[in-house]
Amino acid sequence: GAGVSQSPSNKVTEKGKDVELRCDPISGHTALYWYRQSLGQGLEFLIYFQGNSAPDKSGLPSDRFSAERTGGSVSTLTIQRTQQEDSAVYLCASSINRGGLAGQETQYFGPGTRLLVL
């Protein structure tokens, strides 16, 4: 009964480098979400995957951010040419979509990846 897992738990990188963050959702969950949480701020939606549908990328802050989900399970969030303002906690969540509107179901969150860009 594993929950959502993310790796790495912490990542320190230099400005300009690329980083990849991984999310393993709960088995059987068809929906997967990425969020960014900056210090003292609410969660900021980044991207949403649902089954085989085209992802909702409306929250990605710039074209340096991209994400993919392979085989409807594991997802990778990639940040290219990282900037200091990218420093934040990146949270992944998954849920079972029962055919209702996206985001209506209870989302189960992973522990997050803490990214620090120096």
Partner 1 sequence: KNQVEQSPQSLIILEGKNCTLQCNYTVSPFSNLRWYKQDTGRGPVSLTIMTFSENTKSNGRYTATLDADTKQSSLHITASQLSDSASYICVVSPNTGGFKTIFGAGTRLFVKA
Q: Which residues bind partner 1 (CB under 8 A)?
A: 4, 35, 40-45, 48, 56, 58, 91-93, 101-104, 106-112
DSSP helix/strand/coil, 86: helix
Instruction: Please say which residue, 20 or 105, places its beta carbon nearer to partner 1.
Output: 105
Task: Rank residues 19 and 32 by Cβ distance to partner 1 and give the closer one.
Answer: 32
Structure tokens belonging to residue 30: 């068809």
For residue 37, the minimal CB distance to partner 1 (Å) is 9
* 71 alpha carbon, distance to own chain's centre: 16
Shortest distance (Å) from residue 107 CB to partner 1:
7
Instruction: Report the candidate in 117, 99, 102, 94 with the shortest Cα–Cα distance to residue 38.
Output: 117
